[in-house]
Amino acid sequence: MTPISQLGEFGLIRHLTSGIKNVQPSTLYAVGDDAAVLNHEGKRTLVTTDLLLEGIHFNLEYVPLRHLGYKSVAVNVSDICAMNATPTQITVGLGVSSRFSVEDLEEFYAGVRIACEQYKIDLVGGDTCASVNGLTIAITCLGVADEQDIVYRNGAKPNDLICVTGNLGSAYLGLQLLERELRVFRNTQHGNLAKATEHDDAIQEKFEGREYLLERQLRPEARLDIVQALRKAGIRPTAMMDISDGLSSELFHICTQSKVGCDIYEDKLPIDYQAAALAEEMNLNIVTCALNGGEDYELLFTCDIHDYEKLVPLDDVYIIGHITPAEYESVQPDQPANLRLIPRNGNPLPLTAQGWNAFQAE
């Protein structure tokens, strides 16, 4: 393995970014100076940044570095897609401890490069720094859109349709599968097979037939294809977010900022068969997983009800409910009170935001 110190900061940057070719006409100058130079010709520029920390957002005991590089880009691209915009460039910042070699970072950047090719974006800069603990990743993504095309969270209105893409809960179930098998592996490695089987019903490492769930967790895809499909169909969502923290949390954000309520229907939630089967095996409620699991990186959006005929033919788009007028509780004047889940028995239940909270106490 090649120690990073052998190349130095600028040598490492040159090594990792050599051979990366720009594809965006707006990229005038990329890696190699104090800042990238971009020209977006009068369009609105959008910027988003995500921070990923080892031990908080990912576990390198089961996350391959190449997959991590891809996912780090995809989650940022997803934020640009959630604004109904087109991603164009990224910068990559890394804090790296001494336990990582140049070859390790080559693997990470291989994933970054694949993602850039997938979404047709340019890597135009970044920073690397020594870290005391583990790996820290900070990626900034830029995108462009015409002003009239940008979609915010605050545009939903009563009677709008609520739509999601793909399926929900699969990434969360993929994480539960990885964590379960890691527990078994650790206990087996420490010679405590009895403990491993006591809490995991004698299960061993079993990923066969569940590859899709693992892919959803380790290598999620930003739904740029849906943004393009909506544009082609002549549909402009009234509000939109990506589902990173869980459907219930994202609905809460849209309804709060739009000052509306919502009804969503349990039997309309798109759920993959593998996710449902694993949830049953692990004694988890699949609806709870779908509502609160997070990391699906699908799109949640609302549309005018008159767009129904345009929505129906779209692949991988599902109508799960509708926006309702807001009702406010006096104790929480800024939060809509009527966010509801309509279960199969038809008796409405309050929908609460129980998704991922980065600063929630353990």
List, in sequence order, every residue forming a beta bridge with 261; answer none if it has no partner: 324
- Whole-model pTM: value is 0.87
By three-state DSSP, how is residue 259 classified?
coil
Please state, in angstroms and rounded to a whole number, the distance separating the CA atoms of residues 265 and 346.
9
The yes-or-no verdict on residue 29 having pLDDT over 50 is yes
The region that residue 234 occupies, defined by phi over 0 for left and psi between -120 and 50 for alpha, beta otherwise, is left
Task: Find tokens 């923290």 and name the residue.
Answer: 245
Tens digits of residue pLDDT in 244-291: 999 999 999 999 999 999 999 999 999 999 999 999 999 999 999 999
Q: Domains, the chain, ranges and CATH?
A: 4-149 (3.30.1330.10), 161-174+209-350 (3.90.650.10)
Return the minimum-mean-pLDDT range out of 24-28, 92-96, 107-111, 313-317. Answer: 24-28
**Which string of b and e fits 32-56 if b means at least 16 CB within 10 Å?**
eeeebebebeebeebebebebebee
Average pLDDT, stretch 82-89? 96
